[in-house]
Amino acid sequence: MTRRTNTSCLGMAVKGYLLLNLWVAIGYALALPVTLPDLMASQDPPLHVQGPLQHAVLYGVPVVAALGVALFASRRASVARWVVLARAAAVLVLGQIAAHWAAARFDAPEWTARAMAQCAAAGLAAYLCLVIVRRWDNRGLAPGGRRPGPGEIWHAVVPFRDNEGSKERYCVVMRSLPHYAEVLKITSQNKDHRDDHIRMPNDGWDLTSGKAHWVEIGLHPLRVPYQDFTDGRPKGRCPRPVWRRLRAESVEAAPSRV
């Protein structure tokens, strides 16, 4: 037990050391427009950034670093490209602000000390951006840490269609929106006599119950908040023939249902 505990602690220490170095490297890349001119000015004689290539490196490296942080922060949720670009711009701007703040606050005589303070400040700003984005995106995730996708079958607390209340049941996800999914209910009660249900094969999602299933069709999807999905992963995908029919006869969700 002691040996296993020591190994676990060592692994955590190594992981923490690597993560610290990673964020220092990101901070260095973001602070480059501040640290590099400072280094060049401290030379004898002083140097200056010249030419399009040097300027491209000086300002291109922070842009690439900020975009990398934004992409990594946004990987748990499906977001639009402009959102990723906006997040990258926020990382870039906040990193520059942090680097300039550190340059003014930690005016050490040694360039190395000044540069380390600037890199640490920019890296901390980028890390805080990552944490904020992750927490924001996690509002739109099911308990297991992912967002239900269209065509997937999940287990969730689905509201009744004709009265108040809800019930845990299987459902087909029709659309994924920022804070909720639009779903159609699946039932094991025989609905062959109704036009608003069709038979759903168990292939690909229910391999154990042996029950027949029916799914709603041609009805307004019901809105289910992501916190009402009871499992962390889907049961499977809707059989393709059924999914094609559901999409062909889909209608927009009723605006009164939240």
What are phi and psi for residue 175, nearest 5 degrees? Answer: -145, 145
Q: What is the per-residue pLDDT across 164-174, written as a single tens digit (0 to 9) for each?
A: 889 999 999 99
DSSP 21: H
Q: What is the mean pLDDT of residues 132-144?
A: 74
Say whether the peptide bond before residue 45 is cis (omega within 30 degrees of 0): yes
Q: In sequence order, which residues have a C-beta less than 8 Å from that of residue 238 and are 6 or more positions away?
A: 151, 152, 153, 172, 200, 204, 205, 215, 246
- For the four alpha carbons of 140, 141, 142 and 146, in that order, the dihedral sign comes to positive
- Asked if the model's pLDDT at residue 182 lies above 50, the reply is yes
In which band, very low, low, confident or very high, does the pLDDT at 78 lie, cut at 50, 70 and 90? low
* Stretch 123-150: mean pLDDT: 82
Q: Indicate if the pLDDT at residue 9 is higher than 80.
A: no
Q: Six-digit token pair at 135?
A: 């927490």
CB 169 within 8 A of CB 185: yes
Please state, rounded to an integer, the average pLDDT across all residues of the chain.
Answer: 87
Torsion of CA 102, 25, 111, 94, to 10 degrees: -20
Ordered by where they begin, the domains of the chain are: 2-138 (no CATH), 152-248 (2.30.30)
The predicted model gives 173-189 an average pLDDT of 92
Least confident range from 54-63, 104-113, 218-227: namely 104-113
Instruction: Place 140 in a pLDDT band, splitting at 50, 70 and 90.
Output: low
> Residue 103 above 80 pLDDT?
yes
Residue 216: both structure tokens together: 């709603």
Query: Which DSSP string corresponds to 179-220?
Result: SEEEEEEEESS--TT-TTEEEE--TTT-SSS---EEEE-SSP
Q: How far is CA 170 from the centre of its chain?
A: 25
**C-alpha 104, offset from chain centre:** 35
> What pLDDT sits at residue 6?
60
Q: What is the pLDDT of residue 43?
A: 82
Which of 15-29, 31-45, 57-71 shows the highest mean pLDDT? Answer: 57-71
Residue 119 CA to residue 35 CA, distance in Å, equals 8
pLDDT score, position 258: 39
pLDDT exceeds cutoff 60 at 87 = yes
User: Of 62, 56, 4, which Cα lies nearest the Cα of 28?
Assistant: 62
Provide the pLDDT for residue 5: 56
Residue, of 250 and 140, whose pLDDT is higher? 250
What is the percent of the chain where pLDDT is above 90?
53
What is the reported pTM? 0.57
